[in-house]
Amino acid sequence: MEGEGAIGAFLDFVSPNDTFGEKTWENAERKMVEDTLTSLLEKSAVSADELDFITGGDLLNQCTATSFGCAGFHAPFLGLYGACSTFVEGLLLSSILLEANTARLGAVLASSHFSSAERQYRFPLEYGCQRTPTSQRTVTGCGAALLRRARKKDENCLAVVGARIGKIVNNGVKDANHMGAAMAPAAADTLVSFLKDSSTTPADYDWILTGDLGAIGATLFCELCAKENVDLSGKYLDCGTQMFSPEQDVHAGASGCACAAVFTCGRLFKTWKTLRKNRILLLGTGALLSPMTLQQKQPILGIAHLVFLKGESGCSM
């Protein structure tokens, strides 16, 4: 579905099935991580032992797709859990590891898998449950980026030149099929406070992207920003609305750790230069919950981390 969707043309590899030659969905996701890291190293002409760190995570309990997928590379590993904000949390932390001169070269990745996520968070696929109109489809995919300390200007690279760590926002949403509503207030909080602190407005950027708010969450996000006098017209795109085509009937759009990761490493990295998108704000949006917290009637918490990517000078990614 990802290959046939709106993002299809930007993907390096599309599997004809969701098992990737493995017997379980969880192993399929682990295999995606391995293959993506292998492909990243090949494309970058870097060997695994040159990596000062790999960081990332996924949605599986105990983030096992990432740890098992990374184990064979024998590189220093930092596990993250930021739900679907993980990829941007990884970019943020990696750029600081490089900035502090504690590392020269690192990889960031995030993965998710529709079938492993459905089994863990919702219902076994075999039940054939109907999905509500506000629900989103978890992206089956993995995105990985290489970050290196800026040495000289490289016009083919985007640089991480700013970031903001998100705060947890509790909006009281308890519907696990309405994640966009749970995450939108966190995304608005992070973006509005970043713009305020940096004394900038959307006019200062070419693109403002959110990870996986979906169609409904993206609308809520724009409304919340408008209330704070932040007008996103003509600048804003949610990765969750850009993964699948309308005919694919995924209701409110795409979600999952892979949503922001695949959009960033696929469409963004491959088109920013031709589209002249030189100043980009990328917000990773995450819903902090577990099946257990839902059963125990807890709300879904939202979080959103932000990185400012710049294409004019320096080289980081």
Footprint of a second copy on this chain (CB under 8 A)? 24, 26-27, 52-53, 57, 59-64, 67-68, 70-71, 74-83, 89, 93, 96-97, 99-100, 102, 163-168, 170, 288-293, 296, 298, 301, 303
- Lookup result for tokens 């009281």: 172
Minimum CB distance to a second copy, residue 120 (Å) = 8
Minimum CB distance to a second copy, residue 272 (Å) = 25
The answer to whether the beta carbons of residues 189 and 169 sit under 8 Å apart is yes
Minimum CB distance to a second copy, residue 63 (Å) = 5
The answer to whether the beta carbons of residues 154 and 315 sit under 8 Å apart is yes
Q: Write the Ramachandran bin of 148: left for phi over 0, alpha for psi from -120 to 50, otherwise beta.
A: beta
Is the Cβ of residue 100 or residue 203 nearer to a second copy in the bound state? 100
In the three-class reduction of DSSP (H, G, I as helix; E, B as strand; rest coil), residue 271 is classed as helix
The answer to whether the beta carbons of residues 306 and 190 sit under 8 Å apart is yes
The interaxial angle of helices 114-121 and 25-44, nearest 10 deg, is 140
Is the Cβ of residue 85 or residue 241 nearer to a second copy in the bound state? 85
Minimum CB distance to a second copy, residue 6 (Å) = 29
Contacts of 64 (CB under 8 A, 6+ apart): 26, 30, 58
Is the Cβ of residue 25 or residue 207 nearer to a second copy in the bound state? 25
Is the Cβ of residue 83 or residue 252 nearer to a second copy in the bound state? 83
Is the Cβ of residue 93 or residue 283 nearer to a second copy in the bound state? 93
Minimum CB distance to a second copy, residue 245 (Å) = 30
The answer to whether the beta carbons of residues 282 and 162 sit under 8 Å apart is no
Minimum CB distance to a second copy, residue 262 (Å) = 21
CA 193 to centroid of chain Cα atoms: 20
Is the Cβ of residue 90 or residue 266 nearer to a second copy in the bound state? 90
Q: Is 81 exposed, middle or buried, given 0-12, 13-18 or 19+ CB atoms closer than 10 A?
A: middle
The answer to whether the beta carbons of residues 40 and 144 sit under 8 Å apart is yes
Is the Cβ of residue 175 or residue 206 nearer to a second copy in the bound state? 175
In the three-class reduction of DSSP (H, G, I as helix; E, B as strand; rest coil), residue 143 is classed as strand
Other residues' Cβ atoms within 10 Å of the Cβ of residue 176: 17
Minimum CB distance to a second copy, residue 247 (Å) = 33
CA distance 271 to 155: 13
Contacts of 260 (CB under 8 A, 6+ apart): 84, 85, 87, 88, 110, 143, 209, 211, 212, 239, 282, 284, 285
Minimum CB distance to a second copy, residue 285 (Å) = 14
Is the Cβ of residue 11 or residue 150 nearer to a second copy in the bound state? 150
